[in-house]
Chains A and B, each alone.
Chain A
């Protein structure tokens, strides 16, 4: 497991534990006691570390290489996932994956960014940074959702939309703007979950939803802490301060009234107990979707609009 600085004491204990476990089976009570003792200590240390993560540490956890990705949620949360490809205009963008699936037996449209899990897949999925084609595929899927009255679920995990010459040439701005508009035009419920990184415009493009859920250690920000630091502090070395100042944690966003729910992560983070995490997300999605079902096509659209109009507005 790749190490985060603040997890080092835990990782040392974990490797010690692995060694103890490898020892031949024995009745030596001392070894059993030692194992139990280390396990308890690990739990305690993890609990301590993860209950008071700083914003900068949350940024690290949210970007953790082994954090569950889009494809893992797809496998564990949905059944019968049938990916659909292409924007019908230019290309197929593998950074933003989407298609039809069933959630608790009910057909839905699901989409989200896939960051990849090893070098090859990261390159294939462009590290989860979508080009205009990706956002135009999202628009196409949302149109389909409207037509067949299928709820839309989006799983957001991106450092941002791809900043490249080709993306600019083909209208990255327009693609994101239209994608936001498609979200607002939905006459079906839309639920978004920020599972890792919610990177600025590239995230909001598929997160203008009726319900916005966020994992406990996910982040959602208008700019990366590094980018913010290099502009406002004139040096990326101030990223830790920027992470705190930007108020990008799930707890901050909930406090500000910008998200609806925080989904708790297992002790030690989503990457330590993937199955448990995926199950939590599934339960939360099912619960939120059933609270929005059945829906009135006009009301569900206007409720979403009202939610965003009210966001951050001064109480009258």
Chain B
């Protein structure tokens, strides 16, 4: 009951804390070479160890910053039925969902974004590994389908970036059905003769790897990423042997003919730009005109912060939730413009 410690000191502390934002952990150890990494330098290096080049996990919004030329618009993914099985293990799935939503400020494990890469229009559907391990349930499947639909409407390329342990068990057979559903997304791109790329990141396994992720026109993988169908433990239990070194890594998949190339994070945008130059219709390159749009998430800024700021202000105009009618109109305008050129 000390007036000095209970009132004055907390107040001073909060004033001080408000001024300097010091993260809890300034340093972390590289999981590969054990080298110490300073948070700011690590962030500047796109979460790649500056001692050994090991690619650490990167938050999905930072990944979008790296991929797009300059900022992107977020697209809204259609709503799906929540907890369709009323699933409960030691914990209710409904509660797990609630926690994941609170933690990530996201509706589910997929983020849809629209922007340009090398001046070409691109839709990116990126998994948020922080949301229940990036597991694929109805919401993720719906998101990937939506991404393909928008890409076709906009005559854009589609890049899907899995970071996922596989299907979301808590949605039972419904999660299994996302395998054919996401393959349909791939087919929509094929029929529209638009490029569909997969950027395989750590990890890409199970039902995710055995559906849309292995059907890209081009497969690019991040160095060291774990990619495979069955988990290591399951395989070890089946064959009762130790697994070879480097098994199921990105490099191993290139060696076995399943991936085209391993590309470091810093070179990914340039690589995609080059590929788009080969595969996109030549008229599709947009002059980068909308860099100054107010509603865009700007590269360099913390995407997540901006995103929630928009959420808080109730600004959902940039979400392409109710596009069909609008978009078709906008699209035909664009096409006309292109035709005039």
Binding site for B on A (CB under 8 A): 161-165, 167-174, 176-178, 180-181, 183-185, 200-201, 204-205, 208, 220-223, 227-228, 231-233, 238, 241-242, 245-248, 252-253, 256, 258, 305, 308-309, 311-314
Contacts and interface: CB of A to CB of B under 8 A. Distances in A.
Interface in B60-97: 78-81, 84-85, 87-90
A168 B248 contact: yes
A247 B85 contact: yes
B320 interface: no
Interface stretch (B5-13, B98-106, B178-186): B178-186
B180 A184 contact: yes
A238 to B, nearest CB: 8
B323 interface: no
Q: What are the 10 closest A-B residue pairs judged by CB atoms, nearest first? A: A163-B230, A232-B89, A173-B209, A176-B210, A172-B229, A174-B214, A222-B176, A173-B210, A177-B214, A173-B229
A201 B173 contact: no
Given A180-B211, A309-B145, 14 more contacts: A163-B230, A164-B239, A167-B230, A169-B256, A171-B214, A171-B258, A174-B214, A180-B183, A222-B207, A227-B234, A232-B90, A256-B84, A305-B184, A312-B84
A311 B187 contact: no
Interface centre among B177, B181, B210, B231 (most CB of A within 10 A): B210
B263 interface: no
Contacts of B169: 222-223, 228, 231-232, 246
Interface in B220-256: 227-231, 234-235, 238-239, 241, 243-244, 247-248, 256
A171 B180 contact: no
A258 B231 CA distance: 27
A201 B229 contact: yes
A228 B171 CA distance: 12
B183 A165 contact: no
29 contacts: A161-B230, A162-B238, A163-B230, A164-B235, A171-B214, A172-B229, A174-B258, A177-B210, A177-B214, A184-B183, A200-B176, A200-B207, A205-B210, A222-B173, A223-B169, A228-B89, A228-B169, A231-B169, A246-B169, A246-B172, A246-B173, A247-B172, A248-B172, A248-B173, A252-B173, A256-B85, A256-B174, A258-B177, A308-B184
A172 B230 contact: yes
Given A171-B258, A221-B173, A311 B181 contact: yes
B197 to A, nearest CB: 15
A258 B174 contact: yes
A134 to B, nearest CB: 13
A168 B173 contact: no
Given A245-B88, A305-B184, A313-B80, A256 B210 contact: no
Contacts of B238: 162-164
Nearest to A306: B184
A161 B187 CA distance: 24
B23 interface: no
Contacts of A208: 180, 183
B89 A314 contact: no
B173 A167 contact: no
Nearest to B174: A312
A311 B183 contact: no
A171 B257 CA distance: 8
B280 interface: no
Contacts of B187: 181, 184-185, 305
Nearest to A172: B229
Contacts of B126: none
Nearest to A242: B89
